[in-house]
Amino acid sequence: MNRPMIAVWFSCGAASAVAAKMTIEKYGATHIVRIVNSPVLEEDSDNQRFARDVGEWIGRPIEIASNPKFPDNSAVSVWEKERYMSNPRGAPCTRILKKEARYLWESKNKPDWHVLGFTLEETDRHERFVLTERSNVLPILIENRISKPECFSIIHAAGINLPEIYKQGYPNANCKGCVKASSPTYWNHVRAQDPDVFAARAEQSRRIGAKLVKIKGERKYLDELKATDKGRPMKTMRFECGIFCEEISDLAESDMEDAA
């Protein structure tokens, strides 16, 4: 009898790493467990080091799901071709490099179940995802009441260094200069931490006509952002761009808008 397949969608973050480990421990003897990642060129290069370390920790290879339309896996290339960076319907990099890549992988491999890195404090996101995307999701972290800080602790206890991007003050392991963010706090952090990334986003967004930052309720170009402009503190930001990236509606009126 063929064993059912579980696809664990690994986003190079701590939560999805712990979800992969726990899924293998619970279902590895009865199911085929495959760990899948969709890399994006603009993510910090240390994310792939973290992926290799996690692969050794869980004893499984991490597979790649890519969209053949963009063999360079570059969000910048997507924005250039699509001629927009973000709008109320979402970000094209998420749709093309994450969702379409996932759909192609699913169509070829036909997993029976999915596992995501939704932590206990993200139960609402899990429930929304089950209603709008996939009903066959195993909430491995939620059912074990594992929080995001606990995921960091588990990774640390395993002797694995977290991705460098966390140490650089970013709130997650997303791409640097994530176009779903509109907070002046976030973009000023990018400008201070990664000035080349900020300059590249400012140039491309101005040329394409994408106003990425929201200052006092008004959308503006990044090159109009002042160093003194502030939004909410970085720690309040919760935008995520894992393999499943969806709108977080409860932040619609905050300084950060997640348009995925």
* Domain limits, the chain: 5-251
Residue 255 has pLDDT above 70, yes or no: no
Alpha carbon separation from 187 to 1, 159, 184, 219, 229 (Å, rounded): 53, 32, 5, 13, 10
How large a percentage of the chain has pLDDT more than 90? 81
* Each residue's pLDDT tens digit, 120-174: 999 999 999 999 989 999 999 999 999 999 999 999 999 999 999 988 988 788 8
The structure tokens listed for 115 are 């596992």
pLDDT number for residue 235: 59
Residue 233 has pLDDT above 90, yes or no: no
Nearest CA to 215 out of 188, 237, 251, 240 is that of: 188
pLDDT number for residue 20: 98
Pairing mode of beta strands 5-9, 113-115: parallel
Number of Cα atoms under 13 Å in the Cβ half of residue 41: 13
Q: Is 242 helix (H, G, I), strand (E, B) or coil?
A: coil
* Each residue's pLDDT tens digit, 26-75: 999 999 999 999 999 999 999 999 999 999 999 999 999 999 999 999 99
- Give me Rg for the CA atoms of the chain: 18
pLDDT number for residue 172: 80
Question: For helices 14-27 and 46-58, what crossing angle results, to 10°?
Answer: 20
Whether residue 85 contacts residue 212, with contact meaning beta carbons closer than 8 Å, is answered with yes
Residue 260 has pLDDT above 90, yes or no: no
Residue 203 has pLDDT above 70, yes or no: yes
Q: Which residues of 70-109 are buried (b: 16+ CB within 10 A; e: fewer)?
A: beebbbbbbbeeeeebbeeebbbbbbbbbbbbbeebeeee
Q: Which CATH class is domain 5-251?
A: alpha beta
* Each residue's pLDDT tens digit, 83-135: 999 887 789 999 999 999 999 999 999 999 999 999 999 999 999 999 998 99
